[in-house]
Amino acid sequence: MLFKEAVSTRIIELCNKYNYTANKLAEMSYIPPSTLRALINNQVDNPSSYVIYKICRTLKIDLKEFYNSDLFDINNIDN
């Protein structure tokens, strides 16, 4: 799995966990909906740390919780 795919999957997981639609998450975190859609659709090769930070702030989780997933295990990420 590519890193951008892991980020996309994690955002979708967290939206489901916290009962947010992608549009609601974008609105609440002040991220342009097109940016969040691009992340979710794997169209961003290098996801911004700041965007991930804004998502975490909105969901009231730490960055380490965002990345605390087997998705980000170094053995699961392709180059």
Q: pLDDT per residue over 41-69, tens digit each?
A: 999 989 899 999 999 999 999 999 999 99
pLDDT of residue 78: 85
pLDDT for position 28? 95
Distance CA 78, CA 59 (A): 28
Q: Where are the domains of the chain?
A: 3-68
Note the pLDDT tens digit of each residue in 4-17: 999 999 999 999 99
Above pLDDT 90, what percent of the chain?
Answer: 90
Report pTM.
Answer: 0.90
**CATH level 2 (architecture), domain 3-68:** Orthogonal Bundle (1.10)
Is-contact 70 76, C-beta < 8 A?
A: yes
Calculate the alpha carbon distances from 34 to 6, 38, 76 in Å. 19, 6, 27
